[in-house]
Amino acid sequence: MAKQKLLNKKSMDFLEKYLNNAAPTGYEWDGQKIWMNYLKPYVDEFITDTYGTAVGVINPDAKYKVVIEGHADEISWYVNYISDKGLIYVIRNGGSDHQIAPSKVVNIHTKKGIVKGVFGWPAIHTRSRAKEEPPKPDNICIDVGAKDKKEVEKMGVHIGCVITYPDEFHILNKDKFVCRALDNRMGGFMIAEVARLLKENKKKLPFGLYVTNSVQEEIGLRGAEMITQTIKPNVAIVTDVTHDTTTPMIDPKKQGLAKIGDGPVVAYAPAVQQKLRDLITDTAEEKKIPFQRAALSRATGTDTDAFAYSNGGVASALISLPLRYMHTTVEMVHQDDVENVIRLIYETILKIEDGETFSYFK
């Protein structure tokens, strides 16, 4: 018998609104307000910090603290140089992919509002077939329809303006969610749904739960580094995206095997506390939640690392959502995986006991 769908109309309306809002690294606050507004009925209070991380807290007076975390920011570009001809050259804000830029429409965020532009590219007729030049960070540029630099500046565009893609949420074939910034707006969405389920199912936790939406992950886990010092948690369960490796030009022998629709991906890595991870996999098996495994060398490359190696060591684990086409405007995830990540986090935290140390020496 199929499990009942977790996501309802209110959930999906929130997800669409949350995804369609731009929240580039360093400029996450409008998205955080949308997220906090949705989470408000399900938590007791909020913590926010100087750089924009937001935390919904359940049982704020409890001594033992458990974090469930995603990151709020999305990759983007900065205006770096405006030529005399009025063309705009860019630098990355996070891991933006230069190869997908040509022919994309962009939103340039200015004090006067959004200025539209396009990443232009030379027509196929004008390029040398013998020496095709690929898109590179130093040869892609944005055209805002201005005749010169002065006209660009008059539109409100200046060095340092942030640039995002306007692509919005849609669903393919009934159960595939597609959008830019699923990395990792899905994480914030999934942890918010965990909080909703706890409230709706009237679950009482013996510890404080810190539903954490960190900023600035895309430029080096910076938001998590800050908020872990504020919260000082005992446990952190992080959720982010990972690569579906079944699409063309990806080698699963190098990248490992993961596939959308086959369940959450549980990470094996030095930063992952083994006893906490065992609790997650045991819970998945007991509750019949499908899951996959991934081995990560040295670092996980996610906020898991920031939590694990803070405050003298915090028991941390990573549950990833498999995703196709990362850092493009058509990132894709499977609804079943989204619901199973939510289930797995929810069922795992219900098994964590107050004061649990996860010590290897017990």
Q: Is-contact 245 330, C-beta < 8 A? A: no
Catalytic residue among 28, 69, 74, 217: 217
Contacts of 40 (CB under 8 A, 6+ apart): 46, 56
Q: Is-contact 195 43, C-beta < 8 A? A: yes
Q: How far is CA 130 from CA 149, 196, 311, 348, in A?
A: 34, 58, 57, 57
Taking alpha carbons only, the member of 261, 310, 312 closest to residue 290 is 261
Q: How far is CA 206 from CA 4, 48, 59, 63, 203, in A?
A: 27, 23, 8, 10, 10
Please count the helices (runs of H) and the strands (runs of E) in the chain: 9, 17
Contacts of 283 (CB under 8 A, 6+ apart): 289, 344, 347, 348, 351
Q: Other CB atoms closer than 10 Å to residue 149's CB: what's the count?
A: 17
Query: In 3-state terms, what secondary structure has residue 337?
Result: helix
Using the structure block, give the residue that is written with the tokens 């935290």.
Answer: 349
Q: Is 217 one of the annotated active-site residues of the chain?
A: yes
Burial of 130 per CB tally in 10 Å (0-12, 13-18, 19+): exposed
Q: Count CA atoms closer than 13 A to 264's CA, side-chain side.
A: 28
Q: Is-contact 135 101, C-beta < 8 A? A: yes
Tell me what percent of the chain is helix, strand and coil, each rounded to the nearest 5. 30, 25, 45
Q: Is-contact 93 26, C-beta < 8 A? A: yes
Query: In 3-state terms, what secondary structure has residue 332?
Result: strand
Give the residue numbers marked as catalytic.
Answer: 217
